[in-house]
């Protein structure tokens, strides 16, 4: 018997490694995509939640005032935990870096998946749980959270804390009940969705017949809810007050669409609410098969996601109108989590029917999981480009004008007039945060001229601090990619090269009927200290890693006779 047992263990080990490597593919892809798209740019919510807070800490605000800021209601949420993270960033480094904050937010999703996988028993079951979660959750439907800390630091964090709370309660000891209560408290003060954990955790404890723990849980829940709702206010723009029959139906419809939207790739169409209804029906079926007792974490985890989306539907009731509207990316994580856990539970039933082949149902489902993951990545990849396009244009324009919402496209870092101007100037002055440098000197040697490069400069602007040069450039045999276009400035005595920010130029791509040139746009915002008072010819370099080729555009940058002030020309469309 021993000689035959060793090969079986060896085969199991190879099988386990194979499944782990397969599951790693979506995680690696999302990690690389998120890293490339990450920006250290304070954008919209981050200006209010992060910069305003650290500026108050920096000025030495009294602890009573800081406590009010930490616990302040913002759009029906109390985002205490993310504010603590911002404060810790400042206290440990003296600044705040949104690359780091985004990475922390993404690791919360990794933590949620790891919690669910490690909480189940048996390596076959862990493979089933892990593979389903990875292929359903690690895809670009959640692009907003993956690339923007203003979303991930809350929407991924609350998921991890919720799964940790439920996993701790399922373990059934007093110590883990304390961990569960602590995680539920943190989830409540991350987003209002955490409120769902208190009735859900009470239900779980009741089914476990842990009456003393249930009493303690109810006491803690009462205290936390009292704190949460103390001096609570509703955002009037969300139109939550005054529920009518019509509004209730609208909320129910929006809830079903939130539940079904992950399978329709974020689009709200006629099928979406039916998919949401089928998810609820499947949860009911799984409950009837005693899954609450056999796999409580998966079932209660799915119920948390469903309940959290119900709260979102109520709180965002103004979005409920119109079946044609798309679902916000940051809300899709809850629906995706619910679907993943429901699929896992259905696989558990399939394995029970044929226990000798524990991974066969997963293998049969794998093509559908891969197809869904690839479809979501293909559908949402352009949205990452669009999101960063708005953010990059807004940030580079701010660098140009030292004011928000200027320039031709008037892209904004913050919707409120002059708000970003005041906060960013104050943050830079105090050394808390400054927008990154978008154009740095580069050192190119052995540049080769290439007259086949098509290039045009349609934007030049100078002031006392910055010179901005923008336009587009492409090569006939080349697909435009980010980071490949550089600006060349040449005078009789000087040659300088600078990096630039890549921008979309769909108008240029459409005019030339070449979709591969969609990323042919560029904008360089160059600090004046790098530029001598000379008159330069403007050229463009395309560097693709193998070749460094350039062409002179014929346009000029006149600094010798225009040291003080220039004018904006052309368009940044």
Residue ranges per structural domain of the chain? 19-40+97-233+242-386, 448-558
Residue of 139, 103, 105, 106 whose CA lies nearest to 340? 139
Q: How far is CA 242 from the centre of its chain?
A: 33
- Of all residues in the chain, what percent carry a pLDDT higher than 70? 94
Bridge partner residues of 466 (DSSP): 527
Mean pLDDT across the chain: 92
Within 10 angstroms of residue 356's Cβ, the number of other Cβ atoms is 6
Q: Give the pLDDT confidence of 475-520 residue by residue, as tens digits.
A: 988 999 999 999 999 999 999 999 999 999 999 999 999 999 999 9
DSSP state for residue 536 in the 8-state scheme: E
String of DSSP letters for 115-175: HHHHHS-SHHHHHHHHHHHHHHHSSGGGHHHHH-HHHHHHHHHHHHHHHHHHHHHHH-SHH
The answer to whether residues 455 and 551 touch, using CB atoms and an 8 Å cutoff, is yes
pLDDT digits (tens, 9 = 90+) for 432-484: 999 999 999 998 878 999 999 999 999 999 988 899 999 999 998 899 999 99
Q: Which residue has the higher pLDDT, 6 or 217?
A: 217
Give the tens place of pLDDT for each residue, 16-65.
999 999 999 999 999 999 999 999 999 999 999 999 999 999 999 999 99
Report the b/e string of 431-458 with b at 16+ CB within 10 A. Answer: ebbebeebbeebeeeebeeeeebbbebb
Calpha distance 57→63 (Å, rounded): 9
Dihedral Cα 505, 506, 510, 511, nearest 10 deg: -30
CATH number of the structural domain 448-558: 2.60.40
Of 116, 128, 135, 119, the closest CA to residue 360 belongs to 128
Residues 337 and 221: their CA atoms lie apart, in Å, by 25
Please give the pLDDT value at position 507.
93
d(C-alpha 432, C-alpha 132), whole Å: 42
Tell me the whole-structure pTM to 2 decimals.
0.92
Q: Please give the residue that has the higher pLDDT: either 270 or 51.
A: 51
d(CA 52, CA 70): 11
């Amino acid at each position: 018997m021993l000689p035959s047992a060793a090969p079986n263990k060896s085969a199991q080990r190879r099988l386990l490694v194979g499944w782990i490597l397969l599951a790693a593919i979506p995680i690696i892809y999302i990690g690389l995509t998120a890293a490339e798209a990450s920006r250290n740019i304070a954008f919209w919510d981050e200006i209010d939640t992060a910069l305003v807070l650290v500026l108050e800490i920096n000025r030495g605000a009294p602890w009573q005032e800081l406590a009010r800021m930490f616990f302040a209601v913002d759009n029906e949420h109390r985002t205490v935990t993310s504010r603590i993270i911002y404060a810790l960033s400042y206290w440990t480094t003296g600044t705040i870096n949104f690359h780091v904050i985004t990475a922390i937010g993404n690791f919360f999703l990794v933590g949620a998946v790891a919690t669910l996988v490690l909480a189940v028993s048996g390596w076959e079951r862990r493979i089933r749980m892990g593979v389903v979660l990875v292929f359903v959750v690690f895809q670009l439907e959640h692009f907003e959270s993956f690339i923007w800390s203003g979303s991930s630091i809350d929407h991924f964090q609350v998921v991890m804390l919720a799964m940790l709370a439920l996993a701790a309660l399922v373990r059934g000891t007093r110590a883990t009940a304390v961990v569960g209560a602590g995680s539920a408290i943190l989830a409540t003060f991350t987003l209002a969705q955490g409120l769902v954990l208190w009735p859900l955790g009470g239900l779980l404890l009741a089914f476990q017949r842990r009456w003393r723990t249930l009493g303690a849980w109810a006491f803690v829940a009462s205290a936390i809810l009292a704190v949460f709702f103390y001096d609570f206010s509703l955002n009037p723009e969300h139109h939550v007050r005054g529920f009518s029959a019509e509004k209730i139906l609208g909320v129910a419809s929006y809830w079903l669409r939130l539940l079904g939207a992950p399978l329709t790739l974020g689009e709200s169409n006629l099928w979406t609410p039916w998919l949401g209804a089928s998810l609820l029906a499947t949860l009911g079926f799984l409950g009837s098969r005693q899954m609450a007792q056999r796999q409580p974490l998966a079932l209660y985890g799915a119920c948390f996601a469903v309940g959290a989306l119900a709260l979102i539907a109520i709180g965002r009731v103004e979005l409920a109108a119109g079946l044609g509207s798309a679902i916000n990316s940051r809300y899709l994580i809850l629906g995706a989590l619910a679907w993943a856990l429901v699929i896992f539970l259905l696989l558990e039933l399939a394995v029970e029917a044929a226990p000798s082949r524990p991974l066969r149902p997963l293998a049969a489902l794998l093509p559908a999981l891969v197809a869904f993951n690839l479809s979501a990545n293909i559908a949402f990849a352009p949205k990452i480009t669009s999101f960063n396009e708005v953010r990059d244009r807004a940030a580079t324009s701010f660098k140009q004008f030292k004011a928000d919402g200027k320039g031709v496209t008037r892209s904004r870092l913050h919707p409120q007039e002059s708000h970003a101007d005041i906060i960013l100037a104050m943050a830079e002055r105090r050394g808390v945060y400054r927008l990154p440098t978008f154009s740095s000197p580069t050192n190119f040697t052995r540049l080769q001229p290439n007259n086949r490069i098509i290039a045009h400069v349609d934007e030049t602007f100078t002031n006392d601090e910055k010179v901005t040069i923008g336009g587009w450039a492409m090569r006939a045999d080349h697909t435009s990619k980010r980071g490949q276009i550089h600006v060349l400035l040449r005078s009789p005595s000087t040659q300088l090269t600078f990096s630039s920010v890549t921008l979309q130029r769909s108008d240029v791509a459409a005019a030339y009927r070449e979709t591969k040139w969609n990323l042919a746009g560029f904008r360089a915002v160059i600090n004046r200290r790098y530029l001598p008072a000379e008159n330069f010819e403007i050229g463009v370099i395309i560097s693709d890693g193998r070749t460094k080729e350039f062409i002179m555009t014929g346009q000029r940058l006149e600094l010798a006779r225009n040291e003080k002030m220039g004018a904006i020309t052309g368009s940044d469309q």
